[in-house]
Amino acid sequence: MNRGWIIFILIIAIGAVAGTGYFLYSKGQEAPIVYQTEQPEYRDIIKKTVATGAVNPRKEVEIKPQVSGLVEKLYTEAGKKVKKGDLIAKVAIIPDMVSLNNAENRLNRAKINLKNAKREFDRNKSLLDEGVIPDATYQQFALDYQNAQEEVKAAQDNLDLIRKGSTSRSGNANNTMVRSTIEGMVLDVPVEEGRSVIEANTFNDGTTLATVANMGEMIFEGKVDESEVGKLKTGMDLLLTIGAIDEETFDATLEHISPKGVEENGAIQFEIRASVNLKENQFIRAGYSANADIVLERKDSTLAISEKLLQFDDGQPFVEIETGPQQFERKEVETGLSDGIYIEILSGIDSDTKIKDPNSGENN
């Protein structure tokens, strides 16, 4: 092998060794860490808790019949608006045979007594006119005749009530005609024509013919956990989110907190009620499920930073502010209200400060 080849091989070997050394040196050096920065901003911070429940009418009334019988005619349907006194249904009375028989017998006896009282009245009236009996004796027979007349009327009314649910002397009052007791919207008509219904009495609630509610006054009814109820007080603002209505929230005001909790699934829940502030011509269906964000505290347009920028040293909050390119120094801050994502900054930095994100470090 000549000398030229030897020199060439030596050069290649030296280059390979140098290249390998440089590569290993480069791999052994750590790349510089570059941190991202963020600036404080003015924003609204709302501290809240969430209650689940439903939106229902404040005034919801079940319309029940005053007599038992069959639904002869329905005059309304769900979704229809009614006024107080509007007809809901007509009930055909199916009289109890024992009561009907007793009422007929009473009327027959009253007519017999009336006939006898009239005969005695007429006879004694003639005797009075002839001067045979004194006026005091005649007055007793006149009184008996009047009582007999009233008994016939009472017996006839009793029979009419059993047969028809009303009397000829009651005028427009008719127990068989069921009317709405409030103005509102019919939510439900759970009966059909021909169905048997019973009146409300001391033994049962009676059959519901229709449910009517005032849909212009709605309330939110929900429950909160015992760990949160102590933070609530009447008059607080609520933000309602209704699952069936997208991209719209409703304002409400807390008006009632139950003084007694109820155990559900191993946790104590307290019922709350809030009045919903509806806008003009705004309609919410009864029974919509809803979540209520209860505003415990809020700050509007306050200086705030993301909580991920905040660090702590023995409980003292601080941030690292940028003093030069990728150069930072510690700065203690005073914090205020937090919503779990953003936290209010009371002092220590301003809106122009660039703050290091300690979780954003990347090797270049």
pLDDT at 23 over 70: no
pLDDT tens for residues 238-262?
888 888 887 788 889 999 999 999 9
Q: What is the pLDDT of residue 174?
A: 63
Q: Give this prediction's pTM.
A: 0.60
Q: Which two structure tokens, joined as six digits, stand for 94?
A: 């199916």
**Architecture in CATH for domain 97-170:** Orthogonal Bundle (1.10)
- Span 49-57+215-297: which CATH code? 2.40.30.170
pLDDT tens for residues 49-78?
888 899 999 999 999 998 888 898 999 999
Question: 159 phi and psi, to 5 degrees?
Answer: -65, -40
Q: Kindly report the CATH class assigned to 61-89+178-213.
A: mainly beta
pLDDT tens for residues 74-118?
999 999 999 999 999 998 887 767 777 888 888 889 889 989 989
- Provide the mean pLDDT of the chain: 84
Band of residue 122 on the pLDDT scale cut at 50, 70, 90: confident
Q: Domain extents for the chain?
A: 33-46+300-363, 49-57+215-297, 61-89+178-213, 97-170
Percent of residues, the chain, with pLDDT higher than 90: 25
CATH T-level fold of 33-46+300-363: 2.40.420
pLDDT tens for residues 265-306?
888 999 999 999 887 777 888 999 999 888 888 888 999 988
CA of residue 250 relative to chain centroid, distance: 12
Length of the chain: 364
pLDDT at 9 over 60: yes
Q: What is the mean pLDDT of residues 222-247?
A: 86
